[in-house]
Amino acid sequence: MGRLFGTDGVRGVANVDLTAEMALGLSVAAAHVLGEAGSFEGHRPVAVVGRDPRASGEFLEAAVVAGLASAGVDVLRVGVLPTPAVAYLTGSLGADLGVMLSASHNPMPDNGVKFFARGGHKLPDELEDRIEATYHEHAAGEPWQRPTGAGVGRVRDHGEGFDGYVAHLVGVLPNRLDGLKVVIDGAHGAAARVSPEAFARAGAEVVTIGAEPDGLNINAECGSTHLEGLRAAVVEHGADLGVAHDGDADRCLAVDARGEEVDGDQILAVLALGMREAGTLRGDTVVATVMSNLGFKLAMEREGLTLVQTAVGDRYVLEELKRGGFSLGGEQSGHVIALDHATTGDGTLTGLLLAARVAATGRTLAELVGVMERLPQVLINVPNVDKSRVATSAELGAAVTDAERELGATGRVLLRPSGTEPLVRVMVEAADIEQAHAVAGRLADAVKSALG
């Protein structure tokens, strides 16, 4: 049996892989494990529960709330809010745990359950493993100990969460956004209301697209995985920049005034230089993953900043930020963690900080991202293969060695099993885009041959 928890919670097709019974059982297991770990000692436990707007979130939320309440946990339902909002509210309300129902950038039929510990921090692997083991133990028939009478959890809606979170976002900005016109693509997701409201309160003139969620259209040809609409809207409206979120708004990608994409590496570069100028980039260090573009690494070296690289996944970036006492890190995909203001990647905050830098400097976004030259990078997702054998296949190892020999010092190769989907990601960087495409294509074929 494979591990339920991936790099970002438990995810799968709602009502097939992730059922109401599983969501309920995982929630009860989380309550028991965190209780046994001492998280609830001496007081009645409280949980914050939020979701993105996908249709399956409605029944999964009901299951999670039922599970928690049946285990004696009081529940504050905050409704449709971004993942980082649930993390923030878990901390600001002094809750013992938070639960977010979302499959992030995945298509609408998918959904997921993500747990946060006290303070709004992601659970360590050890606690996730204990929750999973406890869930399986009781799914096999071991009865739960259940409270009765006044011991059962109480459930209430917490509608103030929206305003509290938006006020927090605007309050941490170093300067206002007056004079900027910004297009926001909410991916018909959890940020559809939050992000436009935050930008407007900060002083920006806001144009919105992807801001009419109906439960079925989340991430559909919009948001951070489909930037075409944002590019066109920025040019059409003569905006200074555009920002795009994913379904649960823990990511942000951007578009400059010309309609050119600005990825997570470039956003990190801009924010890093601004924070160094303000004296808030602790250790003059940025944390990023091995997927970061080689051009980002070269730019940081040129600017005299230290780059620490981690495995792929914002949880590993976060772990390194905490371990080293650093303040900024992120991923090329747009997960950016400003640790002084958030416990996880926050797409709305990232967009606000980027816009604030444009407003403060009076320079265009295109000028600001000119600090780094992005080397050609090709990423191919190879689905329906045995991703568990990536590191052990001799055939695949030989193909990688050949590719690295061909690229030499001017490029690199990275093969990575997805943490949330049944596929392998093939990434190739080279000084020449045609060479990158050719090498990536050959490696994708090798993955299919070796692991299919």
Q: Is 104 a catalytic residue?
A: yes
Instruction: Give the CA count within 13 Å in the CB-facing half-sphere of 406.
Output: 18
Q: Roughly what angle, to the nearest 10 degrees, separates helices 294-302 and 264-278?
A: 20
Q: Roughly what angle, to the nearest 10 degrees, separates helices 161-171 and 83-92?
A: 90
Residue type, position 239, single letter: A
- CA-nearest of 397, 265, 421 to 335 is 265
Q: Among 27, 102, 104, 292, which one carries the catalytic annotation?
A: 104
56 is known to lie in a ligand binding site: no
| Gap between the Cα atoms of 86 and 78, Å rounded | 8
| Gap between the Cα atoms of 233 and 204, Å rounded | 16
CA distances for 395 relative to 58, 124, 274, 281, 423, angstroms? 46, 34, 46, 44, 18
DSSP string, 178-227: TT-EEEEE-TTTTTTTHHHHHHHHTT-EEEEES----SS-TTTT-GGG--
What does DSSP say about strands 155-157 and 74-80: parallel, antiparallel, or unpaired? parallel
Three-state DSSP class for residue 241: strand
What would the two tokens of residue 379 be?
Answer: 């990423």
- CA-nearest of 148, 145, 31 to 95 is 31
178 is known to lie in a ligand binding site: no
| Residue ranges of the binding site for Mg(2+) | 104, 246, 248, 250
> What are the residue numbers of the active site?
104
| Residue ranges of the binding site | 104, 246, 248, 250
